């Protein structure tokens, strides 16, 4: 039997922590319904296109009304150009739901009345991305270069401007954690990047250009094996085109390096490996990249915090206890746990202490009755899991996450 064919994809992930500031503090965006009068000009008798433009106009006007209230009219006018640049392209991404109350053609205009509900969380995240609202976290430069043979994909490359799957996913995850993701620009040459990262002069220049304090560089290596299954034998396919009944088996290996740009020093911090199988090569590749990134995200965020000297311990006075939550299945479950813990009345404050394999520890401020806090956590109705108390260690509490049936 001939040797199994192997196809290799190599990618690079680059994240630089930048320092920026904004003149506006955090704002409170209320969730509400906006009733909007919208219109669009009918061109070349294309009524469907005019209807779509009128609906987009309604979404933009709802965003304008919401941000004008949240920021204040004066601040909104001062930031009008930033709002236009960040919010008005594809405004539907900020819409939770909408309802067309009425629509009609009047002369050469298509008019409609629309009821629109926006997402406060999405608006808040984009205000941070636009630099309109301050963030307690540093700005991030996110670059993930995926390579297949001699083809590269990344918005940061001079030759290519196609965003990779890793860039998309990482940008979303960092935004959800309050980081501002810098808009990419095509400035890097992929063939020179590996050597540049070993050049202290280049790293210092990178810090100067982007005002970066720290950077994370990752090698993303994907090994692909393609085969088909016949009646009883396994036959291998020796080309990259998918055949009927083909099965792809992918292995993704990540090596992440933390780079302190203040001293231009690189250290290995995280290694991860994931596998996935599927009949569609692109879907399977996306799946294995997503698994790998979700697995390392908690460690990556903690490493960034430690590099930037953000305290991972309690910072305000009061009665505090260290609580460990084990049994985490994904980074998204960690986010859900953190969000739900903040809703428990007995928890006055919550601060991340650190991560362990499939576990996380928080400093929690509470009124002082530890047994009451323990009962409150065990009885709280989480959406997808329950907290089961386990044997505590010294003055800590420990819980295990159990999936709900």
| Contact indicator for 117, 95 with CB cutoff of 8 Å | yes
Which of 128, 157, 185 is the endpoint of a domain?
A: 128
* Domain termination site, one of 256, 277, 303: 303
247 and 180 in a single domain? The answer is: yes
Residues 141 and 14 in one domain: yes
Q: Are residues 218 and 145 in the same domain?
A: yes
Residues 288 and 346 reside in one and the same domain: no
Is residue 155 located within the same domain as residue 71? no
182: three-class secondary structure by DSSP? coil
Question: What is the extent of the structural domain holding 346?
Answer: 320-403
Is residue 26 domain-resident? no
Same domain, 277 and 231: yes
Burial 112-149 (b: 16+ CB within 10 A, else e): bebebebbbebbbbbbbbbbbbbbebbbbbbbbbbbbe
Q: Does some domain include residue 312?
A: no
Regarding whether 179 and 294 lie in a shared domain, the answer is yes
Mean pLDDT of 340-347: 90
- Asked if 299 and 180 sit in the same domain, the reply is yes
Q: Which residue has the higher pLDDT, 365 or 234?
A: 365
Specify if 308 maps to a domain.
Answer: no
Are 69 and 188 in a shared domain?
no
CA-nearest of 333, 331, 323 to 376 is 323
In total, how many domains does the chain have?
3
**309 located within any domain:** no
Asked if the structure places residue 368 within a domain, the reply is yes
Output the domain CATH number for residue 37.
3.30.1660.40
Does residue 261 share a domain with residue 206?
yes
Q: How confident is the model at residue 318 (pLDDT cuts 50, 70, 90)?
A: low
Q: What is the pTM of this model?
A: 0.67
Q: Are 316 and 364 in contact (CB under 8 A)?
A: no
Using the structure block, give the residue that is written with the tokens 């996935």: 276
The answer on 232 and 274 residing in a single domain is yes
- Token readout for 85 is 């640049």
Long-range contacts of 189-195 (CB under 8 A, 24+ apart): 189/157, 189/158, 189/159, 190/12, 190/145, 190/147, 190/152, 190/154, 190/157, 190/159, 193/12, 193/14, 193/145, 194/12
pLDDT tens track for 201-256:
888 887 788 766 777 777 888 888 887 655 444 444 444 444 456 788 998 888 88
Instruction: Return the closest-CA partner of residue 19 out of 138, 109, 135, 155.
Output: 138
Q: pLDDT by residue (tens digit) across 172-204?
A: 888 887 788 877 888 888 778 878 888 888 888
With respect to residue 315, please indicate whether it lies within any of the assigned structural domains. no
Q: Are residues 186 and 286 in the same domain?
A: yes
Among 85, 111, 128, which residue terminates a domain? 128
- Which letter, b or e, does each residue of 199-238 get, where b requires 16 or more Cβ atoms within 10 Å of its Cβ? eeeebeebbeebebbbbbbbbbbbebbbbeeeeeeeeebe
């Amino acid at each position: 039997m001939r040797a199994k064919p192997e196809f290799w994809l190599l990618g690079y992930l680059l994240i630089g922590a930048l320092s920026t500031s904004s003149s506006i503090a955090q704002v409170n965006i209320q969730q509400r319904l906006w009733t909007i009068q919208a219109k669009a000009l009918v061109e070349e008798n294309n009524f469907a296109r005019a209807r779509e433009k009128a609906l987009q106009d309604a979404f933009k006007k709802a965003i304008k009304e919401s941000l004008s209230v949240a920021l204040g009219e004066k601040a909104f006018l001062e930031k009008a150009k930033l709002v236009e640049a960040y919010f008005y392209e594809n405004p539907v991404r900020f819409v939770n739901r909408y309802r067309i109350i009425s629509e009609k053609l009047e002369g050469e205009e298509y008019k409609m009345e629309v009821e629109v509900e926006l997402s406060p969380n999405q608006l808040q995240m984009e205000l941070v991305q636009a630099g309109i609202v301050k963030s307690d976290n540093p700005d991030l430069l996110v670059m993930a270069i995926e390579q297949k043979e001699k083809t590269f994909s990344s918005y940061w490359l001079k030759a290519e401007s196609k965003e990779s799957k890793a860039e998309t996913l990482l940008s979303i995850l960092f935004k959800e954690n309050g980081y501002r993701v810098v808009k990419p620009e095509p400035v890097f040459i992929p063939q020179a990047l590996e050597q540049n990262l070993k050049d202290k002069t280049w790293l210092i220049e990178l810090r100067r250009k982007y005002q970066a304090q720290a950077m994370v560089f990752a090698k993303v290596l994907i090994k692909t094996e393609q085969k088909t299954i016949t009646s009883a034998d396994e036959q291998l396919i020796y080309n990259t085109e998918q055949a009927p009944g083909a099965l792809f088996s992918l292995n993704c290996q990540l090596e992440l390096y933390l780079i302190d740009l203040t001293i231009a020093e690189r250290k290995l911090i995280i290694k991860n490996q994931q596998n996935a199988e599927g009949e569609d090569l692109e879907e399977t590749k996306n799946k294995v990249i997503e698994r790998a990134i979700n697995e390392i995200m908690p460690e990556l965020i903690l490493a960034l915090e430690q590099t930037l000297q953000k305290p991972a311990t309690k910072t305000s006075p009061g009665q505090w206890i260290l609580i460990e939550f084990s049994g985490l299945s994904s980074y998204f479950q960690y986010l859900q746990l953190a969000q739900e813990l903040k809703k428990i009345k007995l928890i006055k404050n919550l601060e991340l202490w650190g991560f362990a394999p499939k576990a996380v520890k928080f400093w929690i401020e509470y009124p002082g009755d530890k047994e009451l806090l323990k009962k409150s956590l065990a009885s709280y109705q989480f959406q997808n899991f329950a907290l089961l108390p386990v044997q505590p260690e010294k003055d800590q509490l420990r819980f295990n996450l159990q999936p709900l049936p």
